[in-house]
Amino acid sequence: MKGTSAHCYRGAPGEAVETTSRALRVAPSRILICRPNARLGNALLLTPLIEEIETILPGAEVDILTACPAAEEIFREFSCVRTVYRLPKLGARHPLRHLLTLMRASRTRYDLIVDPCPKSWSSRFATRLLYGKFKLGFSSRQKARGCSVSIPIEQAPTHMAAYPVHLIRQGICGNRPVTSPASVPRLTIRLTAQERGFGRRKLRQLVRTDDSRPVLAVATQATGAKELSPSWWRAMLCRVQAEMPCFQVVEILSENGLPRLPEYPGYFSTRIRRVAAVINAADCFVSADSGLMHLGAATNTAVVGLFKVTQPSVYGPYGGGNRAFRADEAALPALGAEIVQRLRQGLARKAPRIHPEAALTR
């Protein structure tokens, strides 16, 4: 390790680069990201890290160790992602499958293994178990050992999507700290043009009208104390409708497929990319703090995230027109005005759509 100042690497994998005492001497070509967690949101929060790797290491290949059932769909359009090793969601109930997946991952000799989470014991265990020339992770009170290159967590930003980007910038480049979420790539699953077209068609089937009226998509379900009651949602939507009577509502249903606002049309799919495509077609997406909120943040639609118990500064949607708010009775008037503003901004961003028949007459 050298003690000179660093610059950001953009060359061929394997070529030596200048580094600080905490950064790698050689740019890795084979990278494994260890995040063996089953939550949809935690998998989506890795997409800024993968985008950052593509930027600073354009010739590298990335494998991902995860337990998220939708991982293959989430990372499908990232050209650098080679293999997704998916552990069983409930590993204790499927020990043989868990072991076989780890054995598959252990066959590759990685240049770099990244543990992107400062608190997860399972990610550090997998990082220590698998073979890598270098192992990059945070050093904290919970996780002080197991990595050859450690970055102090005290210097990292607070947002869940930002600190893995900070980790890779410091570990590879040595001198590019993340100062705010604005300097971090946004969440994305890179919807294709065909998928975006599907979303537009499906949304119009759901509301049964033309393109002239704005559509507000909502995701009302969350886990435990993060959930807001159906009466709260109805009161919020009434306040929005008082200012913008023309808008239409579509409820995006969670994995149980049960609506909480049955008076509005609902959309359900087990295929995450189709759900993202429908959200992408809406003019605004309002969601409780959940995996669906992060899925909305991975689209081009403005997202309003509602937080009841968790910290918006850690989990909130960021970038573009995305905003995070505390949700309680006192916040209803301000939230109604904010959502109306996001709807209008969404309408302004979207170009008029021309039907094929109309295009032929021009």
Q: Per-residue pLDDT tens for 232-242?
A: 999 889 888 88
In this structure, what are the phi and psi dihedrals at residue 326, rounded to the nearest 5 degrees?
-75, 135
Please name which of 315, 253, 276 lies closest in space to residue 41, comparing C-alpha atoms. Answer: 315
Q: Per-residue pLDDT tens for 138-165?
A: 987 767 677 888 888 888 888 999 999 9
The class of domain 30-183 in CATH terms is: alpha beta
Q: What is the pLDDT of residue 30?
A: 96
How many CA within 13 A on the CB side of residue 112? 28
SS3 content of the chain, % helix, strand, coil (to 5): 40, 20, 45
Angle of helix 272-281 versus helix 193-207 axis, rounded to 10: 70
What is the spatial distance between Cα 210 and Cα 13, in angstroms, rounded to a whole number?
51
Q: What is the pLDDT of residue 338?
A: 80
Domains 30-183 and 193-349 belong to one CATH topology? yes
3-state secondary structure of 88: coil
Mean pLDDT, residues 339-361 taken together:
53
Q: Per-residue pLDDT tens for 308-344?
A: 889 999 999 998 889 998 887 777 777 778 888 877 7
Q: What is the pLDDT of residue 233?
A: 93
Q: How many residues does the chain have?
A: 362
Q: Which residue has the higher pLDDT, 56 or 211?
A: 56
Both tokens of residue 193? 């043009």
Judge whether 34 and 62 are in contact, CB under 8 Å.
no
Q: Per-residue pLDDT tens for 11-57?
A: 444 443 333 335 566 678 999 999 999 999 999 999 999 999 999 99
Judge whether 290 and 219 are in contact, CB under 8 Å.
yes
pLDDT at 223 over 60: yes
Residue carrying structure tokens 């309003």: 304
Other CB atoms within 10 Å distance of the CB of residue 11: 12
Q: Where are the domains of the chain?
A: 30-183, 193-349
Q: What is the pLDDT of residue 321?
A: 83
Domain spanning 193-349, CATH architecture: 3-Layer(aba) Sandwich (3.40)
pLDDT band, residue 91 (cuts 50/70/90)? low
Distance in Å from the first CA to the final CA of the chain: 64
